[in-house]
Structure 1
Amino acid sequence: MIPKYRTQFNTEFSQEKYQKTNEIIKQKCGHEAAFRLSESPIFLTQDFWQKLNDTSQSIISQIREMSEGELTKAIPANCNVPNDTKKPHFLAIDFGICKDDKGDIIPQLIELQAFPSLFGFQKLFEEVITEVYPFLNRLKSSIPQNEYIEKLKQVIIGDENPENVILLEIYPERQKTAIDFVLTEQYLGIRTVCLTKIKKQGEKLFYENNGKLIQINRIYNRVIFDELDKIEGLEIEFDFREHVDVEWITHPNWFFKISKYILPKLKHEYVPKSYFLSDFPETETLENFVLKPLFSFAGSGVNLNPTKETINKITDKNNYILQRKVSYAPLFEDINGDFSKAEIRLLFAWDQEKENPELMINLVRMTKASMVNVDFNKKDAIWIGSSMAFVEA
């Protein structure tokens, strides 16, 4: 989007530098990323960045105005976890980078979630790519690394001993985001623990370390609760729905409360119109909308071209939305003259003592396919995968 930076990056780019980026990441954390990294970042104008910021602040304000009762309706009866919090600790807001009818580049809200994302990995990625391409340092406007880690510690660990705080996931070593768990351990000094390893004694939870049981006081939760029922043969001592003496970071109920569930409730020029499937009006044209299950993750279950036949087969219409289609703009030119599309995720952390969350870093996903998912791209494609955005000075 900014020709001088795009030209400079494409001129400086080489496959050797791309390999070097991946190698440095592996050296610094001892792991390779299990997801594809894009060869390139994207460059955004101050005007576009301001649109992202203004829209995000409007969304946050609207969420804060929603009543507890209104948000609680989003939680499935079989997924309600005790000890809810007044606010989530994390918020991720995803925008497609699009063009309007006038040809102006605009953001379009795709979805949002009160669930942690790659807070650890994205900071490392920023440090590494600016090391490989030094000119990017003058475009880096995010929080310095030491301060960034301290802010994460404040939200995730608080006043607790790190030994009594865990990152909780189900089979963490199998997850594509395992590299982020490793970096979180390095940055915060906490341990990653599989849900199957949690021990329960009364209302207290423990994990084992060198044969010793360590009490868990805080859980940095990376488990998607409604996915647990789909895992065959899962044996656990601890049920999320039980009352236990721990503090959740962030509480599992917020995964449902701030999700596609609230999209039909949000109003803004950069928020595409959405309806619960049960409320879809006859005045709208179905072919202009995408069908999405409320609580899917990573694009699972999304139907880009729903038909009346498809919709009529759905019995639980309250668990789906129809969202007006947006067209991602092919704006990001690669070294071969082909163009990628992208969406950007703004990652916020929310100190519970503060009125509003703080933007920590961004994450970009680039694609040349119809969906922003590397699996849909051709194997030899470039300028696809996970990256980040830099903003003009």
Structure 2
Amino acid sequence: MIPAVRATYNQQFTDTQYQQLLQGIAQDAGIAPAFRVAETPVFVPAELTDKLVQACEEIINVVLRPDFKTITRDAIPPHLKVPHENEHPHFIVIDFAVCRRDDGTLIPQLIELQGFPTMYAFQEVMARQFKTHFNIPGQLSNFFNGLDENSYYQLLREMIIGTCPPEEVILLEVKPEEQKTKIDFYSTEKYLGISAVCLTDLIQEGKKLFYMRDGVKTPVQRIYNRIIFDDLLQQSPDLPPHVNLFQELDVEWITHPNWFYRISKYTMPFIHSEYVPKSWFLHELPVVPADLENYVLKPLFSFAGQGVVIDVTQEDIDKITDPENWILQHKVKYAPAIETPSGPAICEIRMMYVWPDSSPRPILVHNLSRISKGKMIGVGFNSKDTWVGGSCCFFEHR
């Protein structure tokens, strides 16, 4: 999106470099990614960088409202509440579509936000490998707030492990070896020193949890949580016997599961920004817009069979029996802003925050990007195209 940088990158690109990038990623992580890695990073111009940061900070200001827990009290389905919720999430990720105004300028538009971690360890591996195998201009950075590779991983270690022995902190997932994101689990173990453990391998004694590490029963003090709990409920009947995580347990969560629901689509109607599409809880909608074709209907909770309705009609709205569990949101139109040798592409940019207990507000640290040439942006929808898939951004900073 920085025209001169983009033109130079495209001209100098070779498939040999790309294959070396993929090999470098696999060698660093110890495993090849289970998703397509794009041939290019995203080069974000300073003007768009400023808008992305402003949009994020406006969203963070809502999360910092003294009454935030009160206004999001109905965000957590009662059967999914986990005891001992802490005062703030340790991770916030904010996803934006890159769009164009009528005057041609690029702007971000909020797509989704989560009080949940993403691929924090792996994204730095990817950025570093792009810098190793391609000519990325030195004035562009994948980091924010003065971080570099060493201070970034140190910050993650301090927040996730803290003063605990690393072996008593685990990354918790359901069937981690089967997850598309498992390359991040490998990178987390390499750079932070904590292992990925399957829920079914936890051992409970009273309120305490343990797992077997090199044949030794090892206590679990902290859980770096990667389980999405409504997914867990759907999978539970097919899993072997396992610990019930909804009970009182003597363990610290990084980040606590309840924040996944508090900071989510549920938060969007409370955010008022030019970078956030207008959103309403369906039961609070003052009047049904006449131009419903410019809106999407989204379920707040991803229960089976309830998906996003893209081409909304009055009939769709009339059919909904639980309007308090849906939002109506203004449609976002992605801009084909990335020029590639095989045609223009659209992208989403994920801004990655951490929130250490010692910090008064969350800290913007890193990023993730997804590049697509189809209607769907997820990396699983791009198997036949080139210059698409998972990627990272390099930002121009003023």
Shared fold, TM over 0.5: yes
2:287 aligns to what? 282
Give the structure-2-normalised TM-score. 0.94
Alpha-carbon distance in 2 for matches of 1:96, 1:303: 18
1:258 to 263, 269, 274: 263
Contact 1:90–1:349 (8 Å) recurs in 2: yes
Q: Distance in 2 between matches of 1:331 and 1:211?
A: 52
Counterpart secondary structure, 1:206:
strand
1:221–1:249 contact (8 Å) kept in structure 2: yes
Task: Report whether the alignment pairs 1:129 with 2:143.
Answer: no
Q: Distance in 1 between matches of 2:394 and 2:28?
A: 22
Letter in structure 1 aligned against 2:197: V
Q: C-alpha displacement at 1:141, in angstroms?
A: 5.1
Asked if residue 239 in structure 1 is aligned to residue 244 in structure 2, the reply is: yes
Residue aligning to 1:68: 69
1:308 aligns with 2:314: yes
1:307-326 residue pairs with structure 2 within 5 A? 307-326=313-332
Q: Offset of 1:101 from its aligned partner?
A: 2.5
Number of residue pairs the alignment of both structures matches? 389
> Matches of 1:14 and 1:313 in 2, distance apart?
52
1:42 aligns with 2:42: yes
> In 1, Cα distance between the equivalents of 2:380 and 2:172?
27
User: 2:98 corresponds to which residue?
Assistant: 97
Contact map agreement 2:96 2:111 (CA 8 A) in 1: yes
Superposition pairs of residues 288-367 of structure 1, within 5 angstroms? 288-296=294-302, 301-336=307-342, 338-367=343-372
**Contact 1:172 1:178 survives alignment (8 Å):** yes
Secondary structure (helix, strand or coil) at the match of 1:242 reads coil
Amino acid at match of 1:15: D
Asked if the contact 2:367–2:393 (Cα under 8 Å) also holds between the matched residues in 1, the reply is yes
Moved more, 251-260 or 96-105: 96-105
Q: Percent identical across equivalent pairs?
A: 43
Q: Deviations over 1:146-183 (max 9, x none)?
A: 11110000110011110100000000000000000010
Q: Deviations over 1:43-93 (max 9, x none)?
A: 111111001111111110111113322222211100110110101000001
1:287 deviates by: 1.5
Contact 1:195 1:236 in 2 (8 A): no
Secondary structure of 2:129's match? helix
Give the letter for the 2:180 counterpart. K
Shift >4 Å, 4+ stretches? none
Structure 2 gaps, min length 5: none
Label 1:140 to 1:274 Cα distance change in 2 as closer, same or farther (>3 A): same
Matched, 1:372 2:373: no
* Cα distance, 1:279 vs structure 2: 2.5
Unmatched segments (≥5 aa) in structure 1: none
**Amino acid aligned to 1:202:** G
Partner-residue secondary structure (3-state), 1:62: helix
User: Of the candidates 253, 271, 279, which is equivalent to residue 276 of structure 2?
Assistant: 271
Which residue of structure 2 aligns with residue 86 of structure 1? 87
TM value normalised by structure 1: 0.95
Q: 2:195 aligns with which of 184, 191, 196?
A: 191
The C-alpha deviation readout for 1:213-235, integer Å capped at 9, x for no partner, is 11100000000011112114223
Q: How many angstroms does 1:392 deviate by?
A: 2.8
**Per-residue displacement from partner, 1:298-336 (whole Å, max 9, x unpaired)?**
xx8222213333333332222221110011100111113
CA contact (8 A) 1:169 1:192 kept: yes
Tell whether 2:22 aligns with 1:17: no
Q: What is the RMSD computed on CA atoms of the aligned residues?
A: 1.6
Amino acid at match of 1:340: A
Tell which deviates more after alignment, 135-144 or 166-175: 135-144
Instruction: After TM superposition, list the pairs within 5 Å mapping 1:196-235 onto structure 2.
Output: 196-231=200-235, 232-235=237-240
Which residue is equivalent to 2:152? Answer: 148
Distance 2:333 2:71 in 1: 31
> 1-side partners of 2:25 and 2:379: how far apart?
20
1:178 match: 182
Quote the Cα distance in structure 1 between the aligned partners of 2:330 and 2:136. 39
Tell me how far apart the structure 2 counterparts of residues 229 and 178 of structure 1 sit (CA, whole Å): 21
Distance 1:375 1:307, change over 3 A: farther
Query: C-alpha displacement at 1:283, in angstroms?
Result: 4.4
For 1:281 and 1:84, how far apart are their aligned partners in 2?
Answer: 34
Find the residue that maps to 1:219 and give its secondary structure: strand
Do 2:49 and 2:396's aligned partners in 1 also have CA atoms closer than 8 Å?
A: no
In structure 1, C-alpha distance between the alignment counterparts of 2:376 and 2:121, rounded to whole Å: 25
Structure 1 counterpart of 2:273, one-letter code: H
Counterparts of 2:182 and 2:29, CA distance in 1? 11
| Kept after mapping to 2: 8 A contact 1:200/1:237 | no
Q: Is the 8 A contact 1:363 1:387 kept in 2?
A: yes
Contact 2:41/2:393 (<8 A) preserved: yes
Structure 2 residue aligned with 1:4: 4
Following the alignment from structure 1 to structure 2, what is the Cα–Cα distance between the partners of residues 98 and 151? 32
